[in-house]
């Protein structure tokens, strides 16, 4: 089943489906299935399979990091957000387990070879179109997944994906469905419209009484409050500043070098030569067999001490001689074969690549070489300082957290004990970003929290970024106050004038629409009120010839063929006024050519397939026995 589907998953639809599933599983923390240990408290059970508290914690943490990354350094996750994220993480684990069990019960399987093929085809791990082991390891290290966890992730992704692709690629659209969809999507409508600017009504005399201004002021006092402000004292802990204080001696660096000698060892290097027996993409079966046969014969000749150049000439191969390379520098398709060559003169068995058959010979091999201390001294120093600074940073973080929690009434003791200065911020509001520490939303939210603002406690440790954290406390507080009416009377008057002009414009548009619908002559109405009909003509559903509000209204009006006057009228709010739209006729859409018809048909099929899959998924969820015992937050 999977192989059949794979042969048809070359388009953007399939690629998108696969990518979304893979990334979704990575987001939700599917690897938590592989790190749960015995003795964990169970938080859910799906058809007898337990989901542990540890699995939920890992899934939640991965989701939290993703959301925090989206918020950026100025973002903040509230307690309500945390509860929602925990619920989403739990639901994701349940969904994955239900779908995994359903696929397994229905006989779907994924082999190790399919996983390997899929891994090597993922563009994220390719360099110059070839799988790169170095690139794979680099990306994997940033995801906090081990190789086995990631491979299991792919296995589960492909397993769950098989029913979905089955629905998508077996769905179909009847000719009438395609025709009806095309008729609606490509439909065109013939419209005229009039614009009624609000400015016309604003230019007319509008008198707002002092009583109206006073009434609006009394009813909307919350709109005229000065923003509440605070400034804070804070202690800042910086990894960069801690690093600057480290000045390790030569003895310390040499000791660190010896303890981490593997990090300063030059990897094995190969000087290789290769014979390539090309197979063209359009080669016949006989040509492919001949290339394989020549590769096997050349391999036997080289094993017996044959010459590379002679073998290349005799068996129609391309000879390539390479300089010294580490394994990561070897072409991805050759890495496995090269890694198996442990002695100079060894020859690999023929192996297939995207270009044909290849035989590789190790001309020379350099064993791993330990780099001298003198050669890597600067790197050793950098690594030493970074490691010890991070350890010190973690230690000071705990100390700062303890001191400011145990003495919540002041930062003085923590500052004195840790020999850190107390900084002071500028005044800031909760919603407006400042230039100093108040630029961080999490700082502003914490400063205005009940615990810090009202109870006058020190805050918890606030992580501004991976290398900086602070603890704050409110130094001064400027309460919100009501602005006097005398200062904002003019502002209120202008607002009420705008509202009155808006109401007059809306009433005018409504009256004109009623007159048009009752059979009045459109041209006479336009002439009477010194307005002008704009004849847009036939426009499509995605036209940019008219304002989006007019376009939206035009495609919501009823077909004029069913109206008494054979014209449909409607009014729409525009950015600078109102618009009256006259819909005169509707023309059904059609396709330009067979290619467009094929595209529409494919989209309909895919949509129906995805809908069927959603129904399938809902059915599996409805029939699953799910017990949730999520602990209280």
The Cα–Cα gap between 267 and 273 comes to: 19
Q: For the chain, what percent of residues have pLDDT higher than 90?
A: 43
The Cα–Cα gap between 33 and 258 comes to: 38
In a 10 Å sphere around its CB, with 0-12 CB exposed, 13-18 middle and 19+ buried, how is residue 346 labelled? middle
The answer to whether 488 and 224 are in contact (CB under 8 A) is yes
Assigned token pair, 320: 């390539």
CATH topology of domain 268-367: Chitinase A; domain 3 (3.10.50)
Q: Pseudo-torsion of CA 174, 175, 178, 183, nearest 10°? A: -140
Angle at CA of residue 282, ends 279 and 287, nearest 5°? 45
* SS3 category, 513: helix
Question: What are residue 578's phi and psi, to 5 degrees?
Answer: -130, 160
The answer to whether 188 and 538 are in contact (CB under 8 A) is yes
What was the pLDDT predicted at 204? Answer: 86
Kindly state the average pLDDT of the residues 249-263: 84
The confidence band for 1, taking pLDDT boundaries of 50, 70 and 90, is: very low
The Cα–Cα gap between 209 and 471 comes to: 52
Kindly state the average pLDDT of the residues 509-538: 93
What was the pLDDT predicted at 21? Answer: 45
What was the pLDDT predicted at 79? Answer: 67
Kindly give the interhelix angle for 12-28 and 147-170, rounded to the nearest 10 degrees: 140
Q: Is the pLDDT of residue 28 over 60?
A: no
Angle at CA of residue 153, ends 148 and 155, nearest 5°? 95
Name the maximum alpha-carbon separation found in the chain: 109
CB atoms within 10 A of CB 214: 13
How high is the mean pLDDT of the chain? Answer: 85
Q: Is the pLDDT of residue 255 over 80?
A: yes
Residue 383 backbone zone (phi > 0: left; psi -120 to 50: alpha; other: beta): alpha
Q: Spell out a b/e string for 362-377, using b for 16 or more CB atoms within 10 Å of the CB, else e.
A: beebeeeeeeebeebe
Kindly state the average pLDDT of the residues 364-383: 84
CA-based nearest residue to 79, from 401, 442, 400, 405: 442
Quote the distance between the C-alpha of residue 152 and its chain's center.
Answer: 22
What was the pLDDT predicted at 144? Answer: 58
Running DSSP on this structure, what letter comes out for residue 425?
Answer: P
Q: Is the pLDDT of residue 633 over 60?
A: no
Q: Is the pLDDT of residue 26 over 50?
A: no
Kindly state the average pLDDT of the residues 188-208: 92
Just give the CATH number of 2-173+612-628.
1.10.4030.10
The confidence band for 13, taking pLDDT boundaries of 50, 70 and 90, is: very low
Give 345's contacts (C-beta < 8 A, 6+ positions apart): 361, 362, 363
The answer to whether 234 and 423 are in contact (CB under 8 A) is yes
3-state percent breakdown (helix, strand, coil) of the chain, nearest 5:
55, 20, 30
* SS3 category, 420: coil
pLDDT tens-digit series, residues 134-165 = 888 777 766 656 788 788 888 888 999 899 88
What was the pLDDT predicted at 83? Answer: 82
Q: For the chain, what percent of residues have pLDDT higher than 70?
A: 90
Kindly state the average pLDDT of the residues 290-313: 88
Angle at CA of residue 350, ends 349 and 356, nearest 5°? 165
Q: Pseudo-torsion of CA 488, 494, 495, 498, nearest 10°? A: 180
């Amino acid at each position: 089943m999977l192989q059949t589907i794979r042969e048809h998953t070359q388009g953007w639809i399939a690629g998108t489906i696969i990518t979304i599933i893979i990334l979704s599983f990575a987001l939700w923390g599917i690897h938590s299935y592989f790190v749960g240990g015995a003795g964990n408290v169970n938080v859910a059970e799906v058809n007898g399979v337990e989901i542990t508290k540890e699995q939920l914690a890992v899934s939640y943490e991965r989701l939290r990091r993703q959301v925090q990354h989206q918020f950026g350094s100025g973002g903040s996750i509230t307690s309500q957000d945390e509860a929602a994220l925990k619920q989403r993480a739990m639901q994701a684990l349940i969904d994955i387990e239900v779908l995994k069990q359903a696929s397994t019960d229905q006989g779907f399987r994924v082999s190790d070879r399919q996983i390997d093929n899929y891994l090597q085809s993922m563009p994220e791990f390719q360099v110059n179109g070839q799988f790169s082991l170095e690139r794979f390891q680099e990306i994997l290290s940033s995801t906090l997944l081990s190789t086995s966890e990631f491979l299991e992730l792919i296995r589960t992704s492909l397993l769950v994906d098989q029913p979905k692709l089955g629905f998508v690629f077996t769905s179909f659209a009847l000719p009438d469905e395609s025709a009806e969809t095309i008729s609606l999507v490509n439909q065109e409508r013939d419209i005229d419209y009039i614009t009624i600017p609000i400015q016309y009504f604003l230019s007319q005399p509008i008198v707002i009484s002092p009583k109206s201004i006073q009434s609006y002021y009394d009813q909307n006092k919350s709109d005229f409050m000065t923003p509440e402000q605070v400034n804070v004292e804070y202690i800042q802990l910086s990894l960069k500043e801690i690093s600057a204080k480290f000045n390790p001696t030569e003895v310390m660096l040499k000791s660190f070098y010896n303890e981490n000698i593997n990090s300063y060892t030059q990897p094995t290097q190969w000087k290789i030569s290769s014979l390539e027996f090309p197979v063209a993409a359009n080669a016949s079966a006989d040509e492919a067999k001949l290339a394989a046969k020549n590769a096997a014969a050349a391999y036997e000749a080289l094993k017996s001490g044959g010459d590379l150049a002679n073998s290349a000439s005799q068996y129609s191969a391309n000879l390539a001689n390479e300089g010294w390379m580490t394994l990561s520098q070897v072409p991805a398709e050759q890495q496995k074969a090269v890694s198996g060559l442990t002695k100079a003169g060894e020859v690999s068995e023929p192996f297939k690549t995207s270009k044909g058959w290849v035989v590789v010979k190790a001309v020379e091999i350099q064993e791993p070489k330990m780099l001298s201390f003198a050669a890597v001294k600067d790197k050793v120093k950098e690594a030493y300082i970074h490691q010890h600074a991070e350890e010190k940073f973690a230690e000071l973080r705990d100390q700062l957290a303890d001191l400011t929690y145990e003495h919540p009434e002041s930062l003085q003791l923590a500052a004195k004990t840790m020999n850190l200065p107390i900084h002071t911020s500028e005044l800031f509001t909760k919603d407006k970003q400042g230039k100093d520490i108040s630029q961080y939303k999490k700082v502003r939210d914490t400063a205005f929290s009940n615990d810090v603002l009202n109870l006058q406690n020190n805050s918890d440790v606030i992580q501004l970024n991976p290398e900086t954290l602070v603890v704050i406390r409110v130094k001064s507080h400027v309460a919100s106050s009501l602005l006097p009416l005398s200062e904002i009377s003019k502002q209120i008057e202008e607002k009420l004038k705008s509202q009155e002009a808006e109401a007059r414009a809306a009433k005018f548009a409504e009256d004109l629409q009623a007159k048009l619908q009752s059979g009045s002559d459109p041209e006479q109405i336009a002439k009477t009120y010194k307005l002008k009909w704009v004849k847009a003509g036939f426009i499509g559903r995605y036209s940019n010839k008219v304002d989006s509000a007019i376009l939206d209204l035009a495609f919501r009006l009823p077909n004029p063929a069913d109206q008494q006057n054979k014209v449909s009228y409607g009014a729409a709010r525009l950015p600078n006024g109102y618009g009256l739209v006259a819909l005169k006729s509707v023309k059904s859409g059609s396709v330009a050519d067979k290619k467009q018809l094929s595209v529409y048909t494919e989209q309909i099929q895919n949509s129906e397939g995805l809908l069927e899959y959603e129904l399938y998924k809902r059915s599996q969820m409805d029939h699953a026995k799910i017990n949730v015992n999520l602990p209280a937050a």
